[in-house]
Chains A and B, each alone.
Chain A
Amino acid sequence: DSGVTQTPKHLITATGQRVTLRCSPRSGDLSVYWYQQSLDQGLQFLIQYYNGEERAKGNILERFSAQQFPDLHSELNLSSLELGDSALYFCASSVGGVGELFFGEGSRLTVL
């Protein structure tokens, strides 16, 4: 158990809908990262927050947004969902600085 908690574990929804994925980082970790993993693309970095502030953006679509709250949990909002958004979404946390990331179990999103 990495100490990073993600909910929900599984989510099935329809095209055009909006969903919110939630992540609670390890105790003491200030950085939260969101990654998307699909079969052919591997782990793709989406966005990172550090102590409530956005620090880096990767290949995140405009339909997606995220935030980190004062209690350091983070939410990833996915809207106007398309079939291609079906993937495993991981949250990871770290203390910050140079070091390994600790991953949650992921949220598997299926868009029908």
Chain B
Amino acid sequence: EDKVVQSPLSLVVHEGDTVTLNCSYEVTNFRSLLWYKQEKKAPTFLFMLTSSGIEKKSGRLSSILDKKELFSILNITATQTGDSAVYLCAGGYPGAGSYQLTFGKGTKLSVIP
């Protein structure tokens, strides 16, 4: 059975800290690793990684994928209170004429002033 495991499950940091969120996966026919941020309701897309070793960056957020070791990390530098959210990662794979995502349970990040 496919699984995606995130760690830690929760994290409390102070503004300005740098955090690293971990995601390991075992997904059959794996094609991509996606990161989402979920604040109050809808998960919003952050990154999709398909190639190993290539870092993707967006402002203070960056992510990298290691397809050999089957994991990804999401880094957030100079954290702000607005970064407080649940961060979800998902392994993507092609299904029968469709594309599927298996999600981890998320890491709840709390940034305190």
Chain A residues whose C-beta falls within 8 Å of the C-beta of B97 in the assembled complex:
50, 55
Chain B residues whose C-beta falls within 8 Å of the C-beta of A97 in the assembled complex:
99
Interface size, A (range) = 20 to 34
A102, chain B: closest CB distance, angstroms: 7
Q: Is A74 an interface residue (CB 8 A)?
A: no
**B94 closest partner in A (C-beta):** A98
Known: A99-B48, A100-B34. A2 touches B101 (CB 8 A): no
A56→B100 contact, CB < 8 A: yes
B104, chain A: closest CB distance, angstroms: 7
Question: Number of residue pairs across A and B with beta carbons under 8 Å?
Answer: 65
| Total B residues in contact with A, Cβ cutoff 8 Å | 27
The binding surface of chain B is classed by DSSP as strand
A101→B101 contact, CB < 8 A: yes
Chain B residues whose C-beta falls within 8 Å of the C-beta of A105 in the assembled complex:
41-42
A96, chain B: closest CB distance, angstroms: 7
A2→B98 contact, CB < 8 A: no
Q: Is B32 an interface residue (CB 8 A)?
A: yes
**B48 closest partner in A (C-beta):** A100
Distance between Cα atoms of A2 and B95 in the complex (Å): 24
